Amino acid sequence: MSETIQKTPDDAAGDDSVSGASILLDEVTKKYSGQASAAVDGLTLEIPAGKIVMLVGPSGCGKTTTLKMINRLIEPSEGRIVLGGDDVTDIDGDKLRRRIGYVIQAGGLFPHMTVENNVAMVPKMLGWDKERISKRVDELLELVSLDPAQYRGRYPKELSGGQQQRVGVARALAADPPVLLMDEPFGAVDPITRQRLQDELLRIQEEVQKTIVCVTHDFDEAVKLGDWIAIFSNGAQLVQYDSPERILADPASGFVEDFIGSGAGLKQLTLARVNDVELAEAVVAHPGDDAKDTLARLDKASHNHAVIVDDRDRPISWLSRRQLGRMETISTETDRQLPVVGERATLNDALDTMLVSSAGAALVVGRRDVFRGVIDVQTIMDAITAAHDAAIQDTGHEAPVGINTGSMDQVADPKSDGGRS
């Protein structure tokens, strides 16, 4: 990483790979002028270094206001913000924002600037030299899986929604800030792209280990991405602050139950990842291979389909015996509808992908889209039961602290009756 981060000794509990800083909202209140009640009412929230904390709750409950007080796009009316042990409540907001990456819907890119200039913005403001900036831009575009040679010079309108979002993440990470704030970052893309961007964020987070605070109104997204989830009701009243597993297994109140929605059993699918389950092996072949040989290999393995991969082991098609029977050598054709999921996808994502393609299984790919194996519906069904049982038994962990000390005093303790009033 090219920028040194000031860390306080208590940060990240001695884990060297964590570059994130802890955040503390200390009795923070925001009252907009002309509003009868506070948008955020005496919120105290501990956000541990290197973790992803999801802020969820109904529209208007104060999520965005809470997020923007962290980088002081909104000034708190009362309370303190502590970043990596330093009180930053009164430091210059512009300076603070260079230490905090910010990602909004559709990336929030400047339309008149190339990808390169969008990503280079903060490093330029920090006065980095040209060579360092150029190296950093390449590094970041690689990180978000965009080929620098191909994308540096493009304008945002020449990118898909998903690609714009990737550039937005690259830009936010440019100066290697310890904290990344995201406000409904994947709200503007289609469900399959959304799923891939979420997977990618998890992969990037494994590398960079920032402290990420992410707002969403999508509970499934919160469960998928969050190490911790803060569920708010109006006035940013914290109703429950706990791990996704515990919230699903033991909702603190009727409000949380309603918010989780129906099919809580199915939600367990969002807890387990594709790389948590055992994948089935497949017969793999390459374009140009002899079709009869491939059929013989299917016979031997008692399989009905062969996975065709390109010269970089990326799946391009999934051929049945009947399709192979019509070929002499295997075709180079790429199937655009191929049901493919990443390893970090949730079982819920995998099931969605199968439903969309009306296949009873999906192909799993790992880093650089290399084929890893096959996941089928039965594997997923078996995993639901296992995930549920495990969550019920997990009582030995300690959640970070969250509480409101505003007018509507309320403690978000998983054991208390939080929001039922």
- Give the binding site for ligand ADP (CB under 6 A): 32, 35, 39, 57, 59-65
CB of 179 to ligand ADP, least distance (A): 18
> Which residue lies nearer to ligand ADP by CB, 61 or 144?
61
CB of 386 to Mg ion, least distance (A): 35
Other beta carbons less than 10 A from residue 182's beta carbon = 25
Structure tokens that stand for 362 in this block: 């999906």
Q: Give the pairing type, strands 371-376 and 361-365.
A: antiparallel
Q: Which does residue 21 touch among ligand ADP, Mg ion, none (CB within 5 to 8 A, set by kind)?
A: none
CB of 107 to ligand ADP, least distance (A): 18
Q: Which amino acid is at 46?
A: E
For Mg ion, which residue has the nearest CB? 64
> Which residue lies nearer to Mg ion by CB, 74 or 363?
74
Task: Kindly tell me the burial class for residue 34, based on how many C-beta atoms sit within 10 Å of its own C-beta (0-12, 13-18, 19 or more).
Answer: exposed
> Which residue lies nearer to ligand ADP by CB, 55 or 140?
55
* Helix 161-172 with 191-208: angle, nearest 10 deg: 20
Q: Which stretch binds Mg ion (CB under 5 A): 40-48, 56-64, 164-172, 390-398?
A: 56-64
Q: Which stretch binds Mg ion (CB under 5 A): 13-21, 60-68, 70-78, 245-253?
A: 60-68
Strand ranges in 136-236 using DSSP code E only, listed in sequence order: 179-183, 211-216, 228-233
**Nearest 5°: phi and psi at 275?**
-80, 5
Please choose, from the candidates 8, 30, 13, 14, the residue with its C-alpha nearest in 3D space to the C-alpha of residue 82. 8
CB of 57 to ligand ADP, least distance (A): 6
**Position 64 contacts Mg ion (CB under 5 A):** yes
Q: Rounded CA gap, 64 and 215, in Å?
A: 7
Do 364 and 318 meet the contact criterion of CB atoms below 8 Å apart? no
**Position 65 contacts Mg ion (CB under 5 A):** no
> Which residue lies nearer to ligand ADP by CB, 24 or 230?
230
Q: Which does residue 60 touch among Mg ion, ligand ADP, none (CB within 5 to 8 A, set by kind)?
A: ligand ADP
CB of 195 to ligand ADP, least distance (A): 23
**Which residues of the shown chain bind Mg ion in the complex (CB under 5 A)?**
64
